[in-house]
Amino acid sequence: MRVEQHPFAEVVDADRYGVDPPYDHHDYVGTRLRAPKEPLVIIPSTLTELTGPAYGESAIDPLDHDLTRQHAGEPLGERIIVGGRVLGQDGKPLRGQLVEIWQANAAGRYLHAVDTHDAPLDPNFSGAGRCLTDDDGWYRFTTVKPGSYPWKNHHNAWRPNHIHFSLFGRAFTERLVTQMYFPGDPLFPYDPIFNAIRDEEARERLISRFDLELTQPEWALGFRWDIVLGGREATPLEEPHHD
Amino acid sequence: MTEILGLSPAQTVGPYLAIGLLRDLITPNVVDPGDPRALRLRGTLLDGAGEPVPDGMVEIWQANAAGRYAHPADTRAELDLEDGFLGFGRSGTAPGGRFEFVTVKPGPVPWPGGGMQAPHIEVGVFARGLLKHAVTRVYFPDEVEANAADPVLSRLDEAARSTLVAVAEDGGLRFDIRLQGPGHTTFFAV
């Protein structure tokens, strides 16, 4: 069934019916002064929301998807391939989608002035990549597995290994910034950012899986992670009936 | 049987977004700064204590001066769309929580079911501490009549409406964004 919303009703969170984390999540200290506290105003999707930016092949360098080949030498760490499909909720591939990623190096350090974690920078690793999805919605990056790192949110707080992802979707309503995690991470139960997503199934959709098909012999392990984009209005409240 | 796939949830952009998102491809210049129509849109991103947020990012999306979006869903071919106009910009908020764009004032765009909306720019706000980006709109202070008739603005109370109208300043526009607390910006679920 389709959700009908009365325009200009107010909702506490634009959480797309429990998929997104709420803004206000006390365990994540950074939210306390930054999370919008007042109800959001629902507006119907107008042409402003039903459109959004798209970039073509000319915007991308063919090497932008390979984070291990951006410097004179190779970065240290476990070389991995991360790939998957970008899909609409109907399972159809989203073609030509700009996928932007960034991550810590294998030691758990970002190439950023604000990161003061006592772990080494890698002169051969910047940690940024981008690509466009192909006609089947596929994206693919070669990189090194990011290390975990401490982040001072609470005593002995460590982030699970993750790669940041940014996608535009087909419209402004589909804009998504998220994080991809790795299977079996022992830090999941302790991470307030991951656990801010209340729905367990939704949370687990952010965990990649080891994929022998993506794994290249004598070269790199492969991790598969599909991304599903959609806006609030396209999200059904209940599972559809199966005929 | 139609299977509906579950959406991928959002996560915070974190404090290191500049590595991946503030690079060469997407800039604060929606139009060339030398464009005679160029309009400077600047502001400060503030937290609930009134302190600047220096590790955030603001994105803007808009129609061109004729009110046309550079997107296939805008099928109004009678409106000109100049070559090279995308209508999208991105600015970090360092230092001091400040962001700044060079853009043009968009034309009015239609409201579903008839009528027009006042000229506006859609805004996405990203930062450490925001588990999902926040969405708001910039309206223009010189559009008093259109703003009064706008279907979004006209249904908000005066306090909420006033947070969405930019202020003319130094030949450009200022639009401060307050994430929470007194005078907080009105945010939308889109």
Whether residue A20 lies inside any domain: the answer is no
- On chain A, the residues whose CB falls within 8 A of the CB of B155 are 8
Q: Residue B79: pLDDT above 60?
A: yes
- On chain A, the residues whose CB falls within 8 A of the CB of B137 are 48
Predicted local confidence at residue A237, as pLDDT: 35
Whether residue B151 lies inside any domain: the answer is yes
Whether residue B10 lies inside any domain: the answer is no
- Of A79, A159, A181, A232, catalytic: A159
Whether residue A42 lies inside any domain: the answer is no
Q: Residue B17: pLDDT above 80?
A: yes
- CB nearest to A33's CB, from B47, B111, B132: B47
Provide the phi-psi class of A113: left if phi over 0, else alpha when psi is between -120 and 50, else beta.
alpha
**Per-residue pLDDT band at B3 (split at 50, 70, 90):** confident
Whether residue B5 lies inside any domain: the answer is no
Q: What pTM, to 2 d.p., does this model score?
A: 0.95
The strand ranges marked E within chain A are 10-11, 40-42, 79-88, 98-102, 128-132, 138-144, 149-150, 158-159, 162-167, 176-181, 209-210, 221-224, 227-229
Whether B75 has its CB under 8 Å from any CB of chain A: the answer is: no
CATH of the domain at A70: 2.60.130.10
Predicted local confidence at residue A13, as pLDDT: 55
How confident is the model over B140-153, as pLDDT tens digits?
999 999 999 999 99
| Tokens at B160, concatenated | 């909420």
- Token match 């200022």: residue? B174
Whether residue B2 lies inside any domain: the answer is no
Whether residue B12 lies inside any domain: the answer is no
Tell me whether residue A162 is one of the annotated catalytic residues.
yes
Beta carbons of B2 and A23 less than 8 Å apart? no
Q: Residue B83: pLDDT above 80?
A: yes
Whether residue A84 lies inside any domain: the answer is yes
> Running along chain A, 243 residues long, what does each successive block of 10 average in pLDDT?
50 69 96 95 93 93 95 97 97 97 98 95 98 98 98 98 98 97 98 96 97 98 97 48 38
Give chain B's domain count: 1
Predicted local confidence at residue A8, as pLDDT: 63
- Of A110, A130, A181, A232, catalytic: A110
Q: How many beta carbons lie within 10 A of that of residue A1, not counting itself?
A: 9
Domain that holds residue B138: 17-178
How much is the ipTM here?
Answer: 0.97
Longest pairwise C-alpha distance within chain B: 59
Predicted local confidence at residue B116, as pLDDT: 97
CATH of the domain at B30: 2.60.130.10
Whether residue B185 lies inside any domain: the answer is no
Domain that holds residue A170: 53-232
> Which is it for the CA torsion A102, A107, A108, A111, positive or negative?
negative
Tell me whether residue A149 is one of the annotated catalytic residues.
yes
To the nearest whole Å, the CA of B171 is away from the closest chain A CA by 26
Beta carbons of A239 and B4 less than 8 Å apart? yes
Predicted local confidence at residue A4, as pLDDT: 42
Tell me whether residue A32 is one of the annotated catalytic residues.
no
How confident is the model over B91-107, as pLDDT tens digits?
999 999 999 999 999 99
Predicted local confidence at residue A232, as pLDDT: 72
